[in-house]
Structure 1
Amino acid sequence: MGTAAGSDEGTAPSIAAPAGPGMPAVAPDLTQREAPERAPSPDCSSRWRPAHPTDVGLTLSRLRRGRSDPTFQVSQDGAVWRTTLTRSGPATLRLTQSGLTELRCEAWGEGAREALEGAPDLLGERDDPSGFVAQHPLVRDAHRRWPGLRIPRTGRVIESLIPAILEQKVISLQATASFRALVRAHGTPAPGPAPAGMRVPPSARAWQLIPSWEWHRAGVDPQRSRTVMVCLAVTRQLEAASDLTAAEASARLRAVPGIGEWTAAEVAQRAFGDADALSVGDYHLAGAIGHTLFDADFDDALMVAAMRIWQPHRYRVVRLLEASGTLGKPRHGPRLAFVDHRGH
């Protein structure tokens, strides 16, 4: 949804006032069941046309931490539901679209207005694909097939950082199970008519109050839980990183003990909307890039060297390949093993 250089601005979102209370209950009919209760109107809503084609589901899919993420769900009608904890309070967002050119956001909760104002960024308003050249047949094909893929920007550092820390050195299923258990236990109920079971992420203080034995029971080893606590102690400084340049923000994140290049990149992709943030140090990525694009075995150094041709869009290339289902490598070695820290 970002505006390419030299193009016209997209239509600015218009924020609507609350539509008022729900419809009055329908009088019961002895021959029919009572009419279902109407869902409550949003606290605020907006509708706008982005400057670039935007696929809501595809753009936001990387914000989801597993299919049972209590902060992110997709309903049967295709609407994306997401919770967040803004400076103003908790909020639930419902994001829908008509084609690739008209988007709608509805919001509930104390933080509804703030979350709504951030919805364009969330859907890629600041993502600028101008200057991107595919350079490779597979990338070119993916770019043609998925024109609505944008890089989202949440602006919420801790909400991206804690799940990334939980994913350090463990398999994804283990990390998402830990995140799910902790958010369900310590998050707050999602405002509005959100799908059942949705929760708002815990506040920094709520994360800090989780006892060590509960981290342990959720499968999080002491090293990762200590890293979370160190980050929470400097929450204000880390949240302010969203206003810095990409290099400055990465440096601030990596200055925290336990936060390396991989974790900083994972946060930058989501919180900062950094289309160039390459997850160096990922267990699979270098090999997948090497085999998919160059038919060769790659380590991190070779991947970084080969992908210089796509700067500043290296993460965009990864997302396009993921969306097309072509990113991968033949499996000849063992998978990363599940490590159960609860028995340690």
Structure 2
Amino acid sequence: MPAGVPRQAGSRAGRVRTWVPEGPLDLGLVLGPLRRGPGDPTFRAMPDGSVWRASLTPAGAGTLRISVASGSGAVRGEAWGPGAEWLLEQMPEMLGAADDPAAFEPRHRLVAMARHRRPGLRLTRTGLVLESLIPSVLEQKVTTDEAYRAWRLLVRKFGEPAPGPAAGGRLWVMPAPRTWALIPSWEWHRAGVDNKRASTILRAVRVAARLEEAVRMEPCAAQERLEVVPGIGPWTSAEVVQRSHGAADAVTVGDLHLPRIVGWALAGDRSADDSVMLELLEPYAGQRHRAARLILLSGRVPPRRAPRMPVGDIGRL
């Protein structure tokens, strides 16, 4: 079996689109924020360098395989399912076509070096809100491992196999809003999701259509609409629009680690809070999210003092 095919379930050719980006493109860097852990059932990065994604689009479930030709840099997208055409239409923006890396001007040597070393970084714009909102809510106030486990269990149990060659248990489409709304309380508990996060997701899926409309708004207005839903605050809304809108300035506030990382990288301040982080990122106004990503990619993090956040499992209580 070819390395670029997760699992064969009927070798049906999909719809194909070829696109040539302007400048270098690193699939891993661009699409990496869409992956929720190494076991994400909606995302596969293959040994041949291709990336597979399964999405619930406005046209229905779809699977998209993206690969970049060595030498020419041309991107080939192949898609299956009712959402195939939608995914192929969205593919350039998903790969950063609407992003403008040239608008960014480094103000610190560390940031300039990180950009120089990562020329293929572009900000993705998926055009989908709920697929980033639900896993972001699952990540509220817990470790990433706990959130990734919950996402993995819920998608595999209540989602559907992705259409096309990736079907058969290796790639899954996340549940539709109505399906999320019908998940029994004990299944949330079994996945380790407390009542607060589960209730936030249930409130969100009840107004899913209104939230998806936010993709046509400016990022700030989209965040305001998301935050109308109780349980969705600035941290969650920023995490969403970074992915759904490709929002270059949507810096994440309220994060446990990011202020200290930014503070340490730019000022040697390992105790920085949100206010200090925002002050340090002020020279990058309009591009603060990109600056924060480059800082994270630089690998410069403060030495650890405190023990790691304990991992809980309410599913075992």
Shorter-chain TM-score above 0.5: yes
Q: Deviations over 1:243-284 (max 9, x none)?
A: 011111111111111001100000011111101111100110
Which residue identity lines up with residue 34 of structure 2 in the other structure? L
Q: Match of 2:151?
A: 179
Q: Does 1:127 align with 2:93?
A: no
- Residue 336 of structure 1 deviates from its aligned partner by 1.6
Q: Match of 1:139?
A: 111
CA distance in 2, matches of 1:98, 1:57: 14
- Residue 323 of structure 1 deviates from its aligned partner by 2.9
- The TM-score, its normalising length taken from structure 1, stands at 0.86
- Residue 209 of structure 1 deviates from its aligned partner by 1.1
- Residue 110 of structure 1 deviates from its aligned partner by 1.3
Counterpart selection for 1:266 from 239, 242, 252 = 239
Counterpart selection for 2:260 from 287, 293, 314 = 287
- Residue 339 of structure 1 deviates from its aligned partner by 2.3
Counterpart selection for 1:56 from 21, 27, 41 = 27
Q: Match of 1:43?
A: 14
Equivalent position SS for 1:118: helix
CA distance in 2, matches of 1:236, 1:39: 33
- The TM-score, its normalising length taken from structure 2, stands at 0.93
Q: Deviations over 1:305-327 (max 9, x none)?
A: 1101112111112222333333x
Counterpart selection for 1:71 from 29, 42, 50 = 42
- Residue 338 of structure 1 deviates from its aligned partner by 1.3
Label 1:331 to 1:107 Cα distance change in 2 as closer, same or farther (>3 A): same
Label 1:38 to 1:91 Cα distance change in 2 as closer, same or farther (>3 A): closer
CA distance in 2, matches of 1:187, 1:249: 26
Higher helix share: 2
Larger radius of gyration, structure 1 or 2? 1
Alignment of structure 1 residues 157-236 onto 2, 5 Å: 157-194=129-166, 196-236=169-209
Structure number with greater CO (CA < 8 Å, separation at least 6) is 2
Equivalent position SS for 1:275: coil
**Larger deviation, residues 172-181 vs 49-58:** 49-58
Q: How many residues align?
A: 307
CA distance in 1, matches of 2:176, 2:257: 32
CA distance in 1, matches of 2:266, 2:43: 32
Q: Match of 2:277?
A: 303
Question: How much identity, in percent, do the aligned residues show?
Answer: 46
Mark the runs of 5 or more structure 2 residues left unpaired by the alignment: 1-7
Q: Deviations over 1:129-161 (max 9, x none)?
A: 233111111110111111110100111111000
Which residue identity lines up with residue 219 of structure 1 in the other structure? G
Mark the runs of 5 or more structure 1 residues left unpaired by the alignment: 1-36
For the aligned residue pairs, the C-alpha RMSD in angstroms reads: 1.6
- Residue 180 of structure 1 deviates from its aligned partner by 0.1
Residues 42 and 174 in structure 2, CA contact (< 8 A), matched pair in contact too: yes
Counterpart selection for 2:128 from 156, 161, 179 = 156
